[in-house]
A = this chain, B = another copy of it.
């Protein structure tokens, strides 16, 4: 395992691929490897890409990767799929995409699917980013399928979050945008060659104009982050970021140069405004919080008496106790032993 880590730090993509598999399996060896890799991480710039199904996210990620490669920058791609919690199989077509970028040592693609809880996926994603980062990839593109909690995790993991839209995806999508807009640093209207693309651009601009304050703190509910890190200063006190709308036709590699420029501008803004460091600390506090929660439950459960738990479950089933009171009972009993 130590050899594998050294090989990865030396630039071996094969070692990286093998380590990512180890990491995804969350073995004890993975723990040691990650502890060794962590000091070498923190140099990559992380870009999250999210949006509803059918917007062409994957094509956009490919096109963006090509743009970065043409500029001589190395790119790691993590395609995170939280929609398949049971199979553990990655849905996104790695091999299909690899055809475009095949043989290029400056790009590396990996798919990840939920094996256990969403918390487990977020943790595995953090770990995989750490490995790609330590391997020296300059840009890490983190793509996620679907809407919902996965977007929030992306917003937490990325420095710059792209929300991808496409023309004509129906009314319900419009409604969803309201929530998604709040995590967008850059809005992308892909398939911009479609006749109704300008309607989508206008609708998004209207939502941006009317919308709630930009970029709420995505960590506000994390117990630890409230204690550890100061919330970012309000926009009024510093230069505000104006969310741009960038139009692309990813399938033709059109517009991705402008998109890469917009990402670079956001990067510069984060540094200039001091937000880069604030968000980094928030992210670390949130990561610490999530890992701590899992570890606490694991430890508590290991100490529990199974017979007692089964009896408590019977009480719950027969409605003799409610779930929250059952938790309090368990906590009290745990303290006594």
- What is A's interface to B at a CB cutoff of 8 Å? 31, 34-35, 37-42, 52-55, 57-58, 81-87, 89, 91-93, 115-118, 120, 126, 130, 145-152, 169-173, 175-176, 178-180, 182-183, 212, 216, 218, 220-224, 227-229, 277, 280-281, 284-285, 287-289, 291-301, 304, 306, 309-310, 312-313, 316-317, 319-328, 330-331
A74 shortest CB reach to chain B, Å: 20
Alpha-carbon separation in the docked complex, A313 to B321 (Å): 40
Copies in the complex: 2
B87 touching A182, Cβ below 8 Å: yes
Shortest distance from the beta carbon of A50 to any chain B beta carbon, whole Å: 11
Main secondary structure of the interface of A (DSSP, over half): helix
Bound: A118/B147 CA distance, A? 13
Known contacts A182-B86, A284-B323, A313-B281: A304-B91 contact under CB 8 Å: no
A288 touches B227 (CB 8 A): no
Q: Are A229 and B330 in contact (CB under 8 A)?
A: no
Give chain B residues whose Cβ lies under 8 Å from the Cβ of A169: 53-54
Rounded to whole Å, the gap between the CB of A295 and the closest CB of chain B is 5
- Identify the interface centre among A42, A82, A89: most chain B CB within 10 Å of its CB: A82
Q: How far is the CB of A252 from chain B (nearest CB, A)?
A: 18
25 contacts between A and B (CB under 8 A): A34-B322, A38-B321, A39-B319, A39-B320, A40-B319, A54-B169, A54-B171, A54-B173, A83-B147, A84-B178, A85-B152, A92-B175, A93-B175, A115-B221, A145-B148, A145-B176, A147-B147, A280-B317, A281-B317, A287-B323, A288-B327, A289-B297, A289-B301, A291-B324, A292-B327
Are B227 and A83 in contact, CB atoms less than 8 angstroms apart? Answer: no
CA distance A92 to B295 in the complex (A): 36
Distance to closest chain B CB from A282 (angstroms) = 10
Complex Cα gap A141–B337 (Å): 42
CB < 8 Å neighbour of A38 from B171, B312, B322: B322
Q: B296 to A293, Cβ gap below 8 A?
A: yes
Distance from A285 Cβ to chain B, minimum over Cβ atoms (Å): 6
Report the minimum CB–CB distance from A148 to chain B (whole Å): 4
Sorted from nearest, which 4 A-B pairs have the closest CB atoms? A84-B179, A116-B221, A38-B322, A54-B170
